[in-house]
Amino acid sequence: MTITKIRAAIVGSTGYGGVELIRFLLEHPNVEITSVISSSSSGERVAAGYPHLNEIMTQNLDGIDIAQIAGNADVVFTATPSGVSSKLVPQLLDAGLKVIDLSGDFRLKSSSSYEQWYKKEAPQPEYLEQAVYGLSEIYGEEVARKTFIANPGCYPTATLLGLIPLLSAGWIDHRTIIIDAKSGVSGAGRGTSLLIHYSEMNENFKAYKVNRHQHIPEIEQTLSEALGEDVTVTFTTHLVPMTRGIMTTMYATLTGAYTEEDLIQLYRQYYEGRPFVRIRDAGGWPATKEVYGSNYCDIGFAVDQRTGRVTIISVIDNLVKGAAGQAIQNLNLMMGWDESVGLTRTPVYP
């Protein structure tokens, strides 16, 4: 079967998420990048800010012009900050474009929850209602029916893929969930801040946004939907002095005498046929480097018979499965293509 390439534009292409989209889309057989867009550097070459793209990405950056985007693209990836996407995406949707938004603006179904956690004005409800939450392995069927995807956050992706099968099966007590999350610094984007200043971050390990992180309502919303009743979690984020990678270590009390083998079987069945979730054998806990540069989410378990608790460890590359990779996986699902097209890279190791 011959597939006509679809035309893709990337807004925010000077950021880390945008550049990761470029890296994968350049090798996607069904996609042509027709426009790379910047609000601050139009006219410049992408490679001016990213010399590793010299002679690979020769296009100049376009400015934000909705009519122009609509004229030369079918789908737009918005790798823009929250608060920016909420204003930009409605214009793109009104122009008839398919949109995959990487920000947190359209993930929360409740506007008041968004305003409470993001401290920004919520998007207009008529646009919020059009969005599907694009956690590919869980909402893939809905993604296939929609043209506007709210791509999940990096921490929620690792957390939710690690918790949903156990929670849905009723094997853990939902009142006991604790999530201990660690991220590399590229999770904060390319902009500078004191948090990610080299001498503040190097040889250091710090917790941040404790009980205030904007991904808490996103995680709770999705877990509550999976269980059918309200779930609250304790979620603590930490910054690790590495560039890429997220590890979430999750703890919960088991509701029965389940073994590690039971859990492995449950998860392998749950994710059967889903190429990007890999369940480790007993005792094989995943490390961030084992998914580096790839769209995989690797999950491992340990059951403590002494305490009756399970420890679940889940790792992703924040810029791939946590952002650009999952966005492309969602494009594939939306277009009715195999979800792994253009995403089958082996992790970079060591």
User: Is residue 82 within the footprint of ligand X2W (CB under 6 A)?
Assistant: yes
CA distance to 267, 280, 325, per residue, from 288 (Å): 20, 14, 16
Query: 278 with 264: CB under 8 angstroms?
Result: no
Going through 47-177 in order, the beta strands assigned E by DSSP cover 61-62, 75-78, 98-101, 132-133, 148-150
Q: How large is the greatest C-alpha to C-alpha distance in the chain, in angstroms?
A: 63
Is 154 tagged catalytic?
Answer: yes
Question: From the list ligand NDP, ligand X2W, none, which binds 144 (C-beta under 5 to 8 Å, kind-based)?
Answer: none
User: Is residue 84 within the footprint of ligand X2W (CB under 6 A)?
Assistant: no
Minimum gap (Å) between residue 86 Cβ and ligand NDP:
10
Give the 3-state secondary structure of residue 323: helix
Minimum gap (Å) between residue 244 Cβ and ligand NDP:
8
Site for ligand X2W in 88-147 (CB under 6 A): 103-104
Minimum gap (Å) between residue 265 Cβ and ligand NDP:
31
Q: Which of 132, 154, 312, 320 is catalytic?
A: 154
Q: Token pair for residue 164?
A: 């949903």
| Position among 132, 143, 319, 331 found at the interface with ligand NDP (CB under 6 A) | 319
CA distance to 6, 67, 215, per residue, from 96 (Å): 14, 10, 30
Query: 142 with 105: CB under 8 angstroms?
Result: no
Cα–Cα distance, 261 to 106 (Å, whole number): 38
Report the number of secondary-structure helices (H) and strands (E) in the chain.
12, 14
Site for ligand NDP in 115-174 (CB under 6 A): 153-154
Q: Token pair for residue 337?
A: 């293509």
Q: Token pair for residue 202?
A: 């190097």
Minimum gap (Å) between residue 327 Cβ and ligand X2W:
11
Question: From the list ligand NDP, ligand X2W, none, which binds 80 (C-beta under 5 to 8 Å, kind-based)?
Answer: ligand NDP
User: Is residue 102 within the footprint of ligand NDP (CB under 6 A)?
Assistant: yes
Minimum gap (Å) between residue 166 Cβ and ligand NDP:
24
- Beta bridge partners, 278, equal 298
281 Cβ neighbours under 8 A, 6+ residues apart: 264
List, in sequence order, the alpha helices (H) in 202-338: 216-227, 260-270, 325-335
Annotate each residue in 211-250 with x if it binds ligand X2W (CB under 6 A) or - if it does not, as one string. Answer: ---xx---------------------x-x-----------
Question: From the list ligand NDP, ligand X2W, none, which binds 214 (C-beta under 5 to 8 Å, kind-based)?
Answer: ligand X2W
| Position among 318, 329, 330, 332 found at the interface with ligand NDP (CB under 6 A) | 318
User: Is residue 191 within the footprint of ligand NDP (CB under 6 A)?
Assistant: yes
Cα–Cα distance, 280 to 301 (Å, whole number): 8
Binding site for ligand NDP (CB under 6 A): 11-12, 14-18, 38-41, 79-82, 84, 102-103, 153-154, 186-187, 189-191, 318-319, 322-323
Binding site for ligand X2W (CB under 6 A): 82, 103-104, 153-154, 183, 185, 187-188, 214-215, 237, 239
Q: Looking at the annotation, which residues are catalytic?
A: 154
